A = this chain, B = another copy of it.
Amino acid sequence: MTPAVFDLPRWSATELARVEQALSDWVAAGGVVDAEHPAPAALREGMRYAVLDGGKRLRPLLVLAAREAVAAGEPAAATVGLNDAALRAACAVELIHAYSLVHDDMPCMDNDILRRGKPTVHVQFGEAQALLAGDALQALAFELLTPADSEAPASVQATLCRLLAQAAGYQGMAGGQAIDLASIGLALTEDELRCMHRLKTGALLQGSVMMGAVCTARVLPQATHTALQTYGAALGLAFQVVDDILDVTADSATLGKTAGKDAAQDKPTYVSLLGLDRSLAYAQELLAQALHALDASDLPNTQALRALADMVVNRSS
């Protein structure tokens, strides 16, 4: 049987409309200290600037696609609370991603002035506000996951917090950034480079997939769990390999960020290690791994996950 062609642009547009609206509603849109005092405007502006109107929203889409893959056919009545939890999880992973970009762009890290085609947060608002905006976005991610009046089970809320904290922390994204910092100018082996990227980019991408699965409140068979993890790991690594390729093949206008900066900063990349041709081949190999993990699983509805993996590997920006 040939499956119907999945319309990723259409699916993404529908899902992203919900995500963008939710981000606009939830990211420091208002807030008060008390009846007489609003929450500080400068901080709220910095947070919203960092999150809204930009980015491919890959992580939110992975959350929602993974949930669809696991939850296919679930009766709508049972899922009101879980729909909300999934949208919150989608926003939360994007807030963690956005905060990491704000901090990563600061002068003491990558010292970058352009992001998503706009001046970076510290250029626009100053370093101190950028530092605080990043800090507040991380806290807000966990606040979004734990609304007081949720109809989602508390166990789902708690599990989402655990997965996100692990993906963001010292054994995840922050750990990867630390390895990245320490490796500037060093000749890493492919094994060391893979290890760095598993944390720096892979942990949050894989975490997004697993968080989406949690928003079904189903206990997954071990094999299904492993299939999603394998998909997430292969996708996460593929994302970085392609990032390294685009850093040398695309221009800044296309990327919306400074092209060629890895080479300029003498950072080890897949292209510097494997060369361009082997990097391109490796990206395709990782895509095949990701798709194979889904094929070999009993997941009922993997079209969106498959299309996202294809998009990650075959994108041009």
**Interface flag for A145 (CB, 8 Å):** yes
CB distance from A97 to the nearest CB of B (A): 13
| Complex Cα spacing A136 to B165, Å | 9
Contact A195 B135 (CB under 8 A): no
Contact A132 B181 (CB under 8 A): yes
**Interface flag for A37 (CB, 8 Å):** yes
**Interface flag for A93 (CB, 8 Å):** no
Contact A43 B161 (CB under 8 A): no
With A158-B154, A165-B139: A31-B195 Cβ-Cβ less than 8 Å = no
**What's the tally of chain A residues with a CB closer than 8 Å to chain B?**
65
Question: What number of copies of this chain does the assembly contain?
Answer: 2
**Interface flag for A28 (CB, 8 Å):** yes
Contact B34 A198 (CB under 8 A): yes
**Interface flag for A117 (CB, 8 Å):** no
Which residues of B are found within 8 Å of A140, using beta-carbon distances? 165, 169-170
**Interface flag for A159 (CB, 8 Å):** yes
Instruction: Give 6 nearest A-B pairs by CB, closest first.
Output: A139-B169, A108-B127, A43-B178, A143-B165, A146-B162, A136-B174
